[in-house]
């Protein structure tokens, strides 16, 4: 009975030992394996079996991209302005072996390296250049840190300046400068607006004058055309009236002639027509010679007494 119990205990120990030798590496992780204290292999994703007692897991490494947010670091610019800048580092472990054996406490090493690199870069810049050159600073820091951390199996993907905090006096001066700049821009915009408004008003007045002149011109043209049309119609009316009068006169003479009137009646009608012509506005009247010859006859007729004695 004792022997059976001992066998069961040994079997359980062997099972536990075998189970401990089976290692499953999950996604985005890697295991650094040592055999008798020396580096043996790096296990990636999958199932692996190690030798009991001889092999051990020296380090479990996370190979996903990681973010390190470091506290603000005091730096001095080229023009002797002290400010505080905090940085954010995005890095990824590319070689688990170098990461495990390259440097002790890699995150602290990266933090110290970031602080010294930042001081070197900012020390060559003035305050205004520092505030407007974030991309340049980020690029220089990333390049420097990537080269320095390569022997540690770490790749620096991005470096970002999170905050740049100048002294309070510098911040007050910057705020006053920004306020003055805004007021200057406001004055410029207001002056440009007033100038534009004046130009538009002048252009509107000019356009109005042009339109008024054009309207007056069109009105004068229409008035002249109306006057012309009126005179044409009056002339046409007068011509038509003269034609009708002459036609009526000719018809009357023709009727008298057809009625067999003698020469004296024709002369009297001619004189009546001459009287009508003389009533006009003409300054010269041409009298036919026949009518002049009959003047004596007309005089004789007028001298005949109206009531002769019988």
Higher pLDDT residue, 158 or 253? 158
Q: How far apart are CA 300 and CA 142, in angstroms?
A: 143
Contact criterion met (CB below 8 Å) for 35 and 21:
no
Q: pLDDT at residue 54 above 90?
A: no
Give the per-residue pLDDT at 6.
77
And the tokens for 110?
A: 């990266």
DSSP letter at 70? P
Give the per-residue pLDDT at 202.
85
- Reported confidence tier of residue 80, pLDDT bands at 50, 70, 90: confident
Contact criterion met (CB below 8 Å) for 139 and 161:
no
Higher pLDDT residue, 241 or 107? 107
Contact criterion met (CB below 8 Å) for 98 and 152:
yes
Helix (H) or strand (E) holding 137: helix 134-149
DSSP reduced 3-state for 307: coil
Q: pLDDT at residue 283 above 70?
A: no
Q: pLDDT at residue 278 above 60?
A: no
Across 147-161, 164-178, 204-218, 289-303, least confident range: 289-303
Q: pLDDT at residue 91 above 60?
A: yes
Contact criterion met (CB below 8 Å) for 162 and 89:
no
Question: Closest by alpha carbon to 46, among 69, 22, 25?
Answer: 25
- 165 bridge partner residues: 84
> For 121-152, how does the pLDDT look when each residue is reduced to its tens digit (9 = 90+)?
998 888 888 888 889 999 999 999 999 999 99
Q: pLDDT at residue 97 above 80?
A: yes
> For 207-226, how does the pLDDT look when each residue is reduced to its tens digit (9 = 90+)?
888 888 888 888 888 888 88
Q: Give start and end residues of each alpha helix (H) in 59-133.
A: 96-101, 106-122, 127-131
pTM: 0.54
Give the per-residue pLDDT at 300.
45
Give the Cβ contact number of residue 234 at 10 Å.
10
DSSP letter at 72? P
Pick the CATH number of 66-166 from 3.40.1360.10, 3.40.390.10, 3.30.479.30, 3.30.70.3340: 3.30.479.30
User: Which of 26-40, 255-269, 287-301 is most confident?
Assistant: 26-40
Higher pLDDT residue, 257 or 183? 183
Q: pLDDT at residue 257 above 90?
A: no
Q: How far apart are CA 109 and CA 115, in angstroms?
A: 10
Give the per-residue pLDDT at 307.
45
Q: How far apart are CA 44 and CA 96, in angstroms?
A: 10
And the tokens for 65?
A: 């991209």
DSSP reduced 3-state for 165: strand
Give the per-residue pLDDT at 93.
93
Length of the chain (residues)? 310
Contact criterion met (CB below 8 Å) for 88 and 69:
yes
Q: How far apart are CA 74 and CA 117, in angstroms?
A: 12
And the tokens for 67?
A: 């973010």
Q: Is the dihedral of CA 188, 194, 196, 199 positive or negative?
A: negative
Q: At what angle do helices 106-122 and 134-149 cross, to 10 degrees?
A: 140
């Amino acid at each position: 009975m004792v022997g059976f119990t001992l066998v069961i205990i040994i079997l359980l120990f062997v099972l536990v030992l075998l189970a401990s030798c089976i290692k499953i590496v999950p996604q985005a992780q890697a295991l650094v394996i040592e055999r008798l204290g020396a580096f043996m292999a790096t296990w990636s994703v999958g199932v692996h079996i190690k030798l009991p007692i001889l092999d051990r897991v020296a380090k479990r490494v996370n190979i996903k991209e990681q973010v390190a947010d470091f506290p603000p670091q005091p730096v001095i610019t080229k023009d002797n302005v002290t400010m505080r800048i905090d940085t954010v580092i995005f890095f990824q472990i590319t070689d688990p072996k170098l990461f495990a054996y390259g440097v002790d406490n890699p995150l602290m090493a990266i933090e110290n390296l970031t602080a010294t690199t930042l001081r070197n870069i900012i020390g060559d810049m003035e305050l205004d250049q520092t505030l407007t050159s974030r991309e340049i600073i980020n690029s220089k820091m990333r390049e420097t840190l990537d080269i320095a951390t390569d022997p540690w199996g770490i790749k620096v993907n991005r470096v970002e300046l999170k905050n740049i905090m100048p002294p309070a006096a510098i911040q007050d001066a910057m705020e006053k400068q920004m306020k003055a700049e805004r007021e200057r821009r406001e004055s410029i915009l207001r002056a440009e607006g007033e100038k534009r408004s004046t130009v538009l008003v002048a252009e509107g007045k000019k356009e109005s004058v042009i339109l008024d002149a054009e309207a007056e011109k069109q009105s004068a043209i229409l008035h002249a055309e109306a006057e012309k049309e009126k005179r044409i119609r009056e002339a046409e009316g007068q011509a038509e009236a003269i034609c009708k009068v002459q036609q009526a006169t000719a018809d009357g003479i023709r009727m008298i002639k057809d009625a067999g009137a003698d020469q004296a009646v024709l002369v009297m009608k001619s004189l009546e027509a001459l009287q009508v012509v003389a009533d006009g506005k003409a300054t010269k009247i041409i009298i036919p010679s026949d009518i002049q010859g009959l003047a004596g006859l007309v005089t004789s007729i007028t001298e005949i007494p109206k009531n002769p004695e019988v």
